[in-house]
Amino acid sequence: MKKFLIVLLSLGLIAAFSMTASAADVKFGGSYYLVGFYDSNDLLRDTGIATSRAAFYQRVRLQPVFQIAEGLTFTARIDALERQWGNADWKGTDVMSSRRQTPVAGNPKIQENFEFERGYVTFKTAIGQFSVGYQSTGKWGTNFGDSEASRSRILYVTAAGPVTILALYEKPFEADTSTGFAGKVDADADYAAVAGIYGFPGGNTGLLYYYIGSKAGRVAAVPGSFLWHVLAPYVKAQFGPVYVESEVMYTFGNSFESETPGIADVDKSGWCAYLKAQTNLGPATVGAQVGWSAGDDGSDATKDKSGYGGGTDWNPALILMNDDLATWKPGGNNTANSGKQNFLLYQIFGSFNPTPKLDVGVALTVAQVDKIPAAAAFNKNESKYLGTEFDVTATYKLYDNLSYMVGAGYLWTGDAFKGYGANSNANVVGNDYLLMNKLSLSF
């Protein structure tokens, strides 16, 4: 029996060493950041009562890529300890969330432990490349209008000369097995898109058609659904020392398709646009950008004229329209417009590298509301002015993969933050300043 076991073990070892490895190579990438901030006037009110906030927050991210075979990979992304330091309210049984949520949302957990946010296979075929599974979505062209997230999708990419062709299908919501939707097989949400990108010397340009459809509202008290179509051309180009990028988004369709007699549909037709230009002057860079997302004054209940929005990835200033503040410092009025809807923003900026490891940046931002609610005109508070903000940052590269940034922003608050209600004239706004620092590691 002993000899038999030895022979069996030997055969097992020979088989094990002769088998093809299931994963030929594994590459790990990831990042870590820690941010600390102090906001002096969180509510933007001149009340004589301090409304300051201060906190630290962090995130750990790991992204392994498994090279299974030539042309075949599996990619995962794991986020961990994405939380505010010392906030005991975010402890409990539900420590993992499928999406980021602020502490004032219905579920106050953002993320305290490991969350497998992405997992997808990528494989090349004779007709193109496919990616299947939970993967990155919400990004196209420039950062303007982007709100990157993880979503289940099938992505197809192929090349035809200088043109890259993309097609995708996404499944953001399945009603058939969701609580409260039992048996509602036609209450799903489905997204799809086709796009083309043309590369040329010094840049590229592209056009996206995005279909966004959801019938989840069919189970609401007033049943209905929505169907948006988005056309989004963009261009990025380098002309000598000058770099230019621009994107336009036109959204049309229906924001509400009624299924109740006597309840009208709400037609969708909205624009937003973005332009940025900058030039290098030796160790310095100067530039300007404009962002706009059309508003809707609400004067016609059957029309939705609001634009697609600036997105959560485009954070032009430290205070105004900064989505990080909206996530980690909820409750303050200065982030009420962080969805970047109904606005017009202008900015001039510059940066200077006194040494190869140090970058100093400044920015001056002016923002206003695009449309004032029509019902508010009689209140005599018709200010569109959101404010003017001046920011300065300094980033020092401690290592090639590790940097430390300190920043300060001052906001001269505009009267638009008084609101447009009946008592808005009694509100008195106050200025705000923000101090922050950030440690960033990539690997």
Who contacts 330 (Cβ-Cβ below 8 Å, separation ≥6)? 102, 103, 104
At residue 42, the pLDDT reads 83
Cα separation of 106 and 118, whole Å?
A: 24
pLDDT band with cut points at 50, 70 and 90 for residue 270:
very high
pLDDT at position 428 is 86
Longest dimension (CA), the chain: 98
User: What 8-state DSSP symbol labels residue 264?
Assistant: P
Residues of 68-104 as b/e, b for ≥16 C-beta within 10 angstroms?
beeeebbbbbbbbebbbeebeebeeeeeebeebbebe
What total of structural domains would you count in the chain? 1
- CB of 191 closer than 8 Å to CB of 211: yes
* 310 occurs within a structural domain: no
For residue 240, give every residue at least 6 positions away whose Cβ sits within 8 Å of its Cβ, in sequence order, or none.
none
Does residue 190 fall inside a structural domain?
yes
At residue 283, the pLDDT reads 94
* pLDDT of amino acid 159: 97
Q: Which residues pair with 266 in a beta bridge?
A: 256
* Helix, coil or strand: residue 143: coil
Is 57 part of any domain? no
User: In this predicted model, what pLDDT tens digit does every residue of 79-130 receive, in sequence order?
Assistant: 998 888 887 665 443 333 333 444 444 444 555 567 889 999 999 999 999 9
pLDDT value for 22: 53
> Tell me, what's the pLDDT at 105?
44
Assess if residue 302 is contained within a domain.
no
Contacts of 319 (CB under 8 A, 6+ apart): 39, 325, 334, 389, 391, 409, 411, 432, 434
Q: Which helix (H) or strand (E) holds 16?
A: helix 2-18
Which has the minimum average pLDDT: 208-222, 274-288, 388-402?
Answer: 208-222
pLDDT tens for 320-344 read 999 888 777 765 554 445 568 999 9
**Of the listed ranges 21-30, 57-66, 69-78, 352-361, the one predicted with least confidence:** 21-30
Tokens of 47: 């009340």
Which tens digits make up the pLDDT trace of 422-432? Answer: 667 677 889 99
Range of the domain at 233: 140-269
* Average pLDDT rounded to a whole number, residues 296-301: 92
- pLDDT tens digits, 133-166: 999 999 999 999 999 999 999 999 999 999 999 9
Strands (E), 356-431: 358-369, 385-397, 402-413
Residue 34 has pLDDT above 90, yes or no: yes
Mean pLDDT of the chain: 86
Whether residue 224 lies inside any domain: the answer is yes
Under 8 Å between Cβ of 399 and 429: no
Average pLDDT over residues 240-246: 97
Percent of residues, the chain, with pLDDT higher than 70: 83
In a domain, 169, yes or no: yes
- Cβ(389)–Cβ(319) under 8 Å? yes
Per-residue model confidence as pLDDT tens digits over 342-356: 999 999 999 999 999
CA neighbor of 65 nearest in space, from 30, 113, 104, 28: 28
Q: Which of 248, 242, 313, 315 is nearest to 280 (CA)?
A: 242
* C-alpha–C-alpha distance, residues 385 and 344, integer Å: 10
d(CA 97, CA 325): 19
- Contact (CB, 8 A) for 252 and 304: no
253 in any annotated domain = yes
Encoding tokens for residue 328? 């980690």
DSSP code per residue over 38-90? EESBTT-B-SSS-B-EEEEEEEEEEEEEEEEETTEEEEEEEEEEEEETT-GGG
Instruction: Kindly state the percentage of the chain with pLDDT values over 90.
Output: 66
Q: Would residue 71 count as lying in a domain? A: no
